[in-house]
A and B are shown apart, each in its own frame.
Chain A
Amino acid sequence: MAAKKASPDLLNSSFSFKSLKLKTKQQELLLRVSILGLVYVLAFIARLFSVLRYESMIHEFDPYFNYRTTLFLTEKGFYEFWNWFDSESWYPLGRIIGGTLYPGLMVTAALIYWTLRFLRFFVHIREVCVLTAPFFASNTTLVAYFFGKEIWDTGAGLVAAALIAICPGYISRSVAGSYDNEAVAIFALLLTFYLFVKAVKTGSLSWALGSAFGYFYMVSAWGGYVFIINLVPLYVLVLLITGRYSMRLYVAYNCMYILGMLLAMQIRFVGFQHVQSGEHMAAMGVFLLMQVFYFLDWVKHQLNDTKLFQTFLRITVTSAILVGGIALGVGTASGYISPWTGRFYSLLDPTYAKDHIPIIASVSEHQPTAWSSFMFDYHILLFLFPAGLYFCFKRLSDATIFIVMYGLTSLYFAGVMVRLILVATPAVCLISAIAVSATVKNLTSLLRTKQKVPQTGSTKGVGSSKSSSKVTLDQSQPFHKNGAIALLVGVFYLLSRYAIHCTWVTSEAYSSPSIVLAARGAHGNRIIFDDYREAYYWLRQNTPTDAKVMSWWDYGYQITAMGNRTVIVDNNTWNNTHIATVGRAMSSYEDEAYDIMRSLDVNYVLVVFGGVTGYSSDDINKFLWMVRIGGGVYPVIKEPDYLVNGEFRVDKGASPKMLNCLMYKLCYYRFGELVTEYGKPTGYDRARGVEIGNKDIKLEHLEEAYTTSNWIVRVYRVKPPTNML
């Protein structure tokens, strides 16, 4: 009786609600929009840890160059920027900035800046640059939503947006202040892919046009566009092979390729590479193949005779392949088509860089990825990914084939280089989102059907004739239901762990500007080492404006941006010989180095030294790379000279060449008199945990000009030659 009484009551009350309620569709729209809005905001604010912990500042190395060029662009205008010859770097060679950079990022930031100024918000360009990356990350979540909607359904889209908003693999390169090309490039990449998939799905010219423009934006922003121009033809090829050729594909690819290529040629740094470089030939080959396919289709339609068509097919295909092969061969042999670059090779073959290009191998973000960093950056996505692949294969369509290919290829590249985890992140998030969404949807639908059946089952009572058929269902239901609930709880637990992990990683690992170092003091208080800026600002204020500063290339961008002084080499490692010359100077004896420095007009030498604070990524630890790179060009420098039994040491057992080379002297000058740690002898190097081997360092041609308060940066002045009179 009680149940009987209660149920109409419930119905009554729910009815009064129903008249107020929106239609289900409107409800869903409202929910979707508000979830997306929240995800959008979340993606932005999750990246603001660095601003809260430190300040609104540009991070790392490359972003300083981008910031400097953006500043130039906003001050001098676009034409000056495009024609900019920078004499402050690569002295005495200089650098043609306009022709050797991807301007997308700077132009984007400048446009945002100008728009804000037009709307009467007089913000500083630095703030714009700092917040560009979070802003574009937020936009990426929107694109991820639409992409997910396109390849699966709206649920998957929402999950994808939420996953990508906080995925550490993406956050690592898009926190506030990380003003780098990747910040906008991932947005452009995903947008291009989404529009292309949409174009293939609809066969609409306008979507293909959109994807061509997306590609143009990508080309203008990042060298990673090569991934698009290889993945898309590969995808088309796979569709052709699997017999999914259609008019839609033909329209989408041709329009995207032709327009995208023409637009990309407008970027000076890219120029004619689309028709001249080996890396772009796959796209052109597939383009030609498409024409052959179309031609064959037409001929088949005209002939109406299978036998005749078979022969024709054989002749055409062989001749097409022959012509293509010969053209490629001739092009390569005559040098019209340039061969693949070292960077491209090192992607295909992880060991290539180690043997041939030390300058690529010396960068930590070019190292092969460790399992731990996959776990760190993807967390649960790592095993949701295969599940998502399963769902994709279960419901194969043009769109899911694309995302599967994108996921698999990018994951391979992510394994080759740590840096490329970033490229794989959107694919991993999308595929994982499919897994999550499909699972949750299946489970909830199980739950929902069961919520009603028991009602009918129980009230139908004993005497009903239909009840016997339902009995089997009824018995399995509690088990099903509980299982589904357990699984759902598990899924939500995993997702919440993921959210916690992402927040933790973002706040602890990825929000450090690396230019300001923070440590915990003995009492748990926060100690800030601001030595880099101290030194750069000293250079900026207290050296002649035309002074040339020699340092290892890592610090080049920062010295020009913050110190405003001319550098010999910087992070744009375009001239290996020049870098090798600096490497040679650093690894020679002082008098030999002095000649090199004189020939380069060097006035100041800057070294980074972590012996006092225990900061390990300093120049001594990078020194072997200087030797290797220097030795790669100048055979005078031999790596074994600096090693003792294949071991790199700085203490008493170090090799004599090591103990007297310029780098050693500059780092440890007067360090032998300093007590760094209580209870240790003087000259105890805390970064390497040894007492140094040469405590009595005399400098002949250089003098200490400035050393920062924690000794992290040391600047030396190169003395003019002594007067012979």
Chain B
Amino acid sequence: MKKNSSVVVDLLLLLLAITVLATPAFSDLVLSKVERRIDVTSQIARVTKTLKVVNSGSESVSEFTLTFPKFLSNNLAYLSVSHSEGKGKAKRSLANLSVKEAHPKGMPDLISFYSVSLPKPLSKGDTLTLEVVAAFTNVLQPFPEKITQRDIHLVMLQESAQYLSPYVVESQSLSIKLPNARIESYTKLENSKVQGSEIKYGPYKNLAQYSYAPIVVHFESKAAFAVAERLVREIEVSHWGNVQVTEHYNLVHRGAQLKGEFSRLEYQDRPNPQGVSAFRHLLARLPPRAHSIYYRDDIGNISTSQMQSDSKKTELLIEPRFPLFGGWKTFFTIGYGLPLSDFLFASEGKRFLDISFGSPMIDLVTEKLIVQVVLPEGSKDISVTTPFAVKQSHEIKYSHLDIAGRPVVVLEKNNVVPDHNQKIQVYYKFSNINLLSEPLMLITGFFVLFIPCIIYTRADFSISKSSAAYLAKLQWDEVLATLQEVQNIIQKCLAAHDKLEASLRDLSRTGDIQTCKAARKSTDSLLKDLSKELRPLLASLQSFPSASQISPKVEELVAKERELQEKLMAKHTTVVEGYEKKSSGRDIENRIASQQQKIIALRQEVDDLLEFIDEI
């Protein structure tokens, strides 16, 4: 109630001030026609005005003044003035005109002035059509201010039926578009009428400067009065191909506050649910090709959200954990990834990110919006262009594998409405070489991890180099090395045996005695060399005291191998002789049968011994 009464007092003061205003201040412009349309279907009052300006004075004018009552201009979120030329179908809008807040002298505080610089001075008798779009927040006052769950949500709008202007207005009309036809009350003036969900005032003719006729419209609104008290949008650019957007919302329902109980039973009642003043969904219209979307809050993921996407847009319908009644708050975070190629462009040796400024939520009012653009580490020469004034600052953010930190451009703006969803450009320089730094760091990290392992296995960390245990260990290592060599030689011997056997097989197939003999010869010399190599090893093995357990086995192995060698040679000789004598295959077979048995048994024993040594 307090807020309302203060507005009423404001209004009275305004009226007083207007009556006091006598001096015809500004230039000799005349508004020949004013059309105002106020759209209050959402929580934002969006005022569109078409002003036809005529210069009736003698001098040319280059400035035009817009006025708003102070209680409205305090809530002015967005104002743009454009002018259009031509008429009818040929009409086209031209660029926006620059608008500045003005403080003319001698004017009461209760009126705010904005001066618009015209595209070209308006000479005598010329006309110009201006299109003014203004968006106000907080001007729809809930009344009553507290309602129960069963009540409908009523709001009140205060305006003037006549256009407040420092100029004479020849003809004007006002239409107010309401969300539905349920109108509680409205100020009835002459020429006012209701058409469905629209209220029309006017036309009114020939009004003096600063005419003012307060009206109040009291109507039902089902719109979501969702206000983000604070919204932090973090836009992180990764040159690996992704733009990650993270948005933290502190949301509150700014409609009439809920008083008394919240009844789940009534809220869920099927044919006629109670609690229409609450909203349970919010719709976010994300850019197309948005991916990896998540929706969570301080305590975890929120599973109630739906997504629809096509090539033009991605729509995310999110449902807070609980329905929001008037005065209830919530906090949540949504995040999504966008393909880099859709948002990052190059111009004049610089890169620039072209991305929208405001929140993707439909009909959301943001009281304080903070946009943080996080650029890759190593970006330089950063500059920002925005279509409207914002507060700028710079920060450093540390993220994964950062050393110097990533430069962050922080943009702040209060009272943001969807009309501010325009693109901003962040220009910076970045060299592609920097992309490699993070993988290189990871590689270095792993390398550093493995170096101690390598050093540990290679280096000798024993404290006392002369202790018995240490010496024994050294000796044992030597024994093992020798054993390894012995094994290798034995393996080579066995390989030679196999070659010999193979030559025999070839003989039986081809009957070529000469090659067989040659093979025999080469094998002989090889085996001789090997046994020569073996001798010093065996000697050194015997000299180690710690090898006393092993050396008999090794000796046995060598002996067996030699025996095997001899038997094999004998067999070879027998077979070759047999062939030379041209004896039958069966004959030869019979002759070598006993030898063959022994060879196999010996081979088995040698293998066993080898395995035994292998296991040491």
Report the bound CA distance from A530 to B302 in whole Å: 8
Contact of B491 among A15, A55, A703 (CB under 8 A): A15
Q: Choose from A18, A24, A460, A537 the contact partner of B299 (Cβ within 8 Å).
A: A537
Are A120 and B401 closer than 8 Å at their CB atoms? yes
Closest chain A residue to B487 by CB distance? A23
Instruction: Using C-beta atoms within 8 Å of the partner chain, give the interface range for chain B.
Output: 35 or more
- Find out whether the CB atom of B260 lies under 8 angstroms from the CB atom of A703: yes
Q: Give which listed residue, A57, A119, A452, A464, contacts B300 with CB less than 8 A.
A: A57
Chain A proximity mask over B458-488: 1 for CB below 8 Å, otherwise 0 = 0000000000000000000000000010000
The yes or no answer to A505 lying at the interface (CB within 8 A) is no
Among A24, A533, A541, the one with the most B-chain Cβ atoms within 10 Å of its Cβ is: A541
Check A5 for interface membership: any CB of B closer than 8 A.
yes
Q: In the complex, which residues of chain A have a beta carbon less than 8 angstroms from the beta carbon of B398? A: 120, 122
Cα–Cα distance between A632 and B301 once the two chains are bound (Å): 41
Selecting from B136-144, B195-203, B428-436, B493-501, the interface stretch reads B493-501
Distance in angstroms between the alpha carbons of A24 and B616 in the assembled complex? 10
CB distance from A714 to the nearest CB of B (A): 8
Given contacts A8-B498, A534-B322, A705-B261, contact A459 B401 (CB under 8 A): no
A15 — which chain B residues lie within 8 A by C-beta? 491, 494-495, 498
The 5 closest A-B pairs by CB, nearest first: A707-B264, A55-B301, A562-B299, A534-B321, A704-B261
Chain A positions within 8 Å of B498 at CB level:
8, 11-12, 15
Contact B265 A55 (CB under 8 A): no
A533 and B262 within 8 A (CB): no
Binary interface encoding of chain A residues 110-147 relative to chain B, with 1 for a CB under 8 A from any of its CBs, else 0? 00000000011110000000000000000000000000
- Is there an interface contact between B329 and A24, defined as CB atoms closer than 8 Å? no
Q: Which residues of chain A come closer than 8 Å to B42, judged between CB atoms? A: none
Contacts of A452 in B (CB 8 A): 604, 608
Q: Which residues of B contact A122 (CB under 8 A)?
A: 398-400, 402
- A118 CA to B604 CA in the complex, in Å? 61
A to B CB contacts below 8 Å, 6 in the list? A8-B502, A11-B498, A460-B597, A537-B299, A541-B330, A542-B329
Q: Say yes or no: is B580 at the interface (Cβ < 8 Å to chain A).
A: no
Residues of B within 8 A of A461 (CB): 597
Residue of B nearest to A116 (CB): B400
B residues less than 8 Å from A537 (CB atoms): 297-299, 321-322, 330
Q: A703-721 CB contact bits vs B (8 Å, 1 = yes)?
A: 1111111010000000000
Q: Is A704's CB under 8 angstroms from B264's CB?
A: yes
Counting CB contacts under 8 A, is B182 at the interface? no
A464 to B593, CA, bound (A): 12
Q: Is B600 an interface residue (CB 8 A)?
A: yes
Identify whether the interface residues of B are mostly helix, strand, loop, or mixed: mixed
Q: Does A673 contact B (CB under 8 A)?
A: yes
- 9 additional A-B residue pairs with CB within 8 Å, beyond A12-B502, A530-B302, A538-B321: A8-B501, A19-B491, A122-B398, A533-B300, A534-B321, A670-B263, A670-B265, A706-B262, A707-B263
Q: Which residues of B contact A19 (CB under 8 A)?
A: 491
Contacts of A456 in B (CB 8 A): 600-601, 604
B601 pairs with A460, CB closer than 8 A:
yes
Interface centre among A540, A674, A708 (most CB of B within 10 A): A540
Give the contacts of A676-715 with B (CB-CB under 8 A).
Answer: 703-709, 711
Interface check B614, CB cutoff 8 A: yes
- Whether, in the assembled complex, A491 has its beta carbon less than 8 Å from a beta carbon of chain B, the answer is no
Residues of B within 8 A of A8 (CB): 498, 501-502, 505
Interface centre among B265, B299, B445, by most chain A C-beta atoms within 10 angstroms, is B299
- Complex contacts, A709 vs chain B, CB 8 Å: 264, 268
Q: Evaluate contact between A541 and B615: CB separation under 8 angstroms.
A: no
Known: A5-B505, A541-B330, A674-B265. A530 touches B303 (CB 8 A): yes
One digit per residue, 1 when the CB lies within 8 angstroms of any chain A CB and 0 when it does not, for chain B 213-226 equals 00000000000000
Residues of B within 8 A of A (CB): 260-265, 268, 297-304, 321-322, 328-331, 398-403, 441, 445, 484, 491, 494-495, 498, 501-502, 505, 597, 600-601, 604, 608, 614-615
A-B contacts counted at CB < 8 A amount to 100
Q: Is the CB of A541 within 8 A of B299?
A: no
Q: Take A24-B614, A120-B401, A456-B601 as given contacts and tell me if A673 and B265 are in contact as well, using a CB distance cutoff of 8 Å.
A: yes
Answer whether A459 and B321 are a contact pair too, CB < 8 Å, given A8-B501, A55-B300, A541-B331.
no
| Contact of A24 with B615 in the complex, beta carbons under 8 Å | yes
Q: Does A528 have its Cβ within 8 Å of any Cβ on chain B?
A: yes
A533 touches B494 (CB 8 A): no
In whole angstroms, how far apart are the Cα atoms of A456 and B602 in the complex? 10
Q: How far is the CB of A542 from chain B (nearest CB, A)?
A: 5
A61 at the binding interface (Cβ < 8 Å) = no
A536 at the B interface (CB under 8 A) = yes
Query: Which B residues lie within 8 Å of A722 (CB)?
Result: none
CB 8 Å contact bits of A528-560 with B (1 = contact, 0 = none):
101001101110111000000000000000000
Distance between A154 CB and nearest chain B CB, rounded to angstroms: 14
Residues of A within 8 A of B262 (CB): 704-707
If A15-B494, A538-B321, A541-B331 touch, does A120 touch B402 (CB 8 Å cutoff)? yes
Complex Cα spacing A534 to B321, Å? 5
Nearest Cβ on chain B to A402's Cβ, whole angstroms: 27
Is A476 interfacial (CB-CB < 8 Å)? no
Give the distance in Å from the alpha carbon of A704 to the alpha carbon of B600 in the complex: 94
- State which of A23, A528, A707 has its C-beta within 8 Å of the C-beta of B484: A23
**Quick check: is A599 within 8 A (CB to CB) of the other chain?**
no
Report the Cα distance A317→B150, complex, angstroms.
Answer: 86
Instruction: Tell me, rounded to whole Å, the shortest Cβ–Cβ distance linking B461 to chain A.
Output: 14
In this complex, the member of A455, A536, A709 whose beta carbon has the largest number of chain B beta carbons within 10 angstroms is: A709
In angstroms, Cα B597 to Cα A369, docked, is: 66
Assembly CA distance A18 to B615 (angstroms): 15
Is A459 a contact partner of B600 (Cβ separation < 8 A)?
yes
Which of chain A's residues have a CB closer than 8 A to the CB of B302?
A: 530
Q: Which residue of A lies closest to B250 (CB)?
A: A541
Q: Are A533 and B321 closer than 8 Å at their CB atoms?
A: yes
Quick one: which of B263, B322, B402, B495 has the most chain A CB within 10 A?
A: B322
Interface residue ranges of A2-57 to B (CB < 8 Å): 5, 8, 11-12, 15, 18-19, 23-24, 55, 57
Q: A15-B491, A15-B494, A121-B400 are in contact. Are A530 and B321 (CB under 8 A)?
A: yes
A122-B398, A530-B321 given; A542·B604 CB < 8 A:
no
Do residues A533 and B299 form an inter-chain contact, with CB atoms below 8 A?
yes
What CA separation (Å) do A423 and B600 show in the bound complex? Answer: 57
- A540–B264 alpha-carbon span in the complex (Å): 19
Chain A residues whose CB sits within 8 angstroms of the CB of B265 once the complex forms:
670, 673-674
Q: Which residues of A contact B614 (CB under 8 A)?
A: 23-24
Please name all residues of chain A whose beta carbon is closer than 8 Å to the beta carbon of B303 when the two chains form the complex. 528, 530
Are B401 and A464 in contact, with the CB atoms below 8 A?
A: no
In the complex, A567→B405 CA distance in Å?
Answer: 41
Chain A residues with Cβ below 8 Å from B297 are 537
Chain A contacts of B502 at CB under 8 A?
A: 8, 12
Shortest beta-carbon distance from A40 to chain B in Å: 16
CA distance A649 to B432 in the complex (A): 73
Q: Which residue of B lies closest to A702 (CB)?
A: B261
Residues of B within 8 A of A120 (CB): 398, 400-403, 441
Chain A residues with Cβ below 8 Å from B299 are 533, 536-537, 540, 562
Q: Is A541 touching B329 in the complex (CB atoms < 8 A)?
A: yes
Across the interface, which residues of A come within 8 angstroms of B298, CB to CB? 537, 540, 562
For B400, the chain A residues whose CB sits under 8 A away are: 120-122
Shortest beta-carbon distance, A49 to chain B, in Å? 16
A156 to chain B, nearest CB (A): 19
Contacts of B301 in A (CB 8 A): 55, 57
CA distance A55 to B302 in the complex (A): 10
In the assembly, what is the distance between CA of A106 and CA of B585, in Å?
85
Are B322 and A706 touching (Cβ within 8 A)?
Answer: yes
B571 to chain A, nearest CB (A): 13
How far apart are A697's CB and chain B's nearest CB, in angstroms? 12
Interface members, chain A 515-536 (any B CB < 8 Å): 528, 530, 533-534, 536
Q: Which of A23, A528, A542 has the most CB of B within 10 A?
A: A542
Chain B positions within 8 Å of A530 at CB level: 302-304, 321
